[in-house]
Amino acid sequence: MKTRAELQTYSKVPLELAEKVVKILHEITGNKVNFMGSDGIILASAQPERVGTIHEGGKIIMSGQKNEIAITREMAETMEGALHGYNGAIKYQGERVGCIGIGGEPEQVKPLQQLAELIIIEELERNNDQTERSTIIRNIIDNVKDISDRMGVLSLNGSIQAARLGEKGGPFKVVAHEMQGLAREISDLIVQIEDQTVDKKSKGRNI
């Protein structure tokens, strides 16, 4: 049986999100629901025992051969081992990131599959926005840290110079003291920003 880490490699959609969508669709329809990743591997299912196995319809869709597979009850009766339902691709930024299959009459469950696709795309967009913001904030923090470190070095050099000049080094001493205090304040501010960033990320994952 595949581990969660191994299953996650089959889709860019977080497993937690796939599982949540499957749960919601199952509760709404009472039907079988599956979320498939690349190679048709079932990543989340209303039938837990199917997780990690291959869904043939999902495999065809994820390979790009078809965008959807709809099987009516009448069609299923003529196909060995087939059940009626609708399977549709989830596309994000031009790439197939998953496939959702819902049991039931296609015309009834297709709108729910499409709604689930919109929810997943919106969540992926939100995650990407958070990642981009985090990268920007990280770069700013790194730059400010560099400035703070250099101010600390300049402050130390100023203190040494002030000591060498004795009484004449008074102005150097004052400037060095101010720079040292400012560098300390900047360091404290960076710690606060980092703590807030981590806290927001944690809250975002819990949504």
Mean pLDDT of 56-68: 93
Q: Which of 129, 156, 188 is the last residue of a domain?
A: 129
User: Domain check: are 108 and 85 in the same one?
Assistant: yes
Average pLDDT score over the chain:
81
**Of 7-21, 140-154, 177-191, which one has max mean pLDDT?**
7-21
The percentage of the chain sitting over the pLDDT mark of 70, rounded to a whole number, equals 68
Residue 90 is predicted with a pLDDT of 95
Q: Which of 85, 100, 129 is the last residue of a domain?
A: 129
More confident residue, 118 or 176: 118
H helices within 63-169, ranges in order?
A: 73-77, 106-165
Report the phi/psi class of residue 41: left, alpha or beta, with left for phi > 0 and alpha for psi in -120 to 50.
Answer: beta
User: Domain check: are 188 and 111 in the same one?
Assistant: no
The length of the chain is: 207
Q: Which range is least confidently modeled, 67-71, 105-109, 143-147?
A: 143-147
Residue 79 is predicted with a pLDDT of 62
Q: Per the confidence metrics, is the pTM higher than 0.75?
A: no
Separation of alpha carbons 25 and 33, rounded Å: 7
User: Domain check: are 76 and 124 in the same one?
Assistant: yes
User: Domain check: are 109 and 135 in the same one?
Assistant: no
Residue 2 is predicted with a pLDDT of 87
User: What is the sign, positive or negative, of the torsion defined by CA atoms of 103, 109, 110, 111?
Assistant: negative
State the total domains in the chain.
2
User: Domain check: are 178 and 81 in the same one?
Assistant: no
User: Domain check: are 120 and 136 in the same one?
Assistant: no
CATH no. for residue 13? 3.30.450.40
Residue 25 is predicted with a pLDDT of 93
User: Domain check: are 103 and 173 in the same one?
Assistant: no
**Which residues constitute the domain of residue 160?**
131-205
Q: Give the pLDDT band of residue 97 (cuts 50, 70, 90).
A: very high
pLDDT tens for each residue of 158-207: 677 667 777 666 665 666 666 666 667 776 766 766 666 555 555 555 44
User: Domain check: are 141 and 47 in the same one?
Assistant: no
Q: Give the pLDDT band of residue 44 (cuts 50, 70, 90).
A: very high
Q: Give the pLDDT band of residue 76 (cuts 50, 70, 90).
A: confident
Structure tokens at 68: 């959807």
Q: Which of 112, 129, 146 is the last residue of a domain?
A: 129
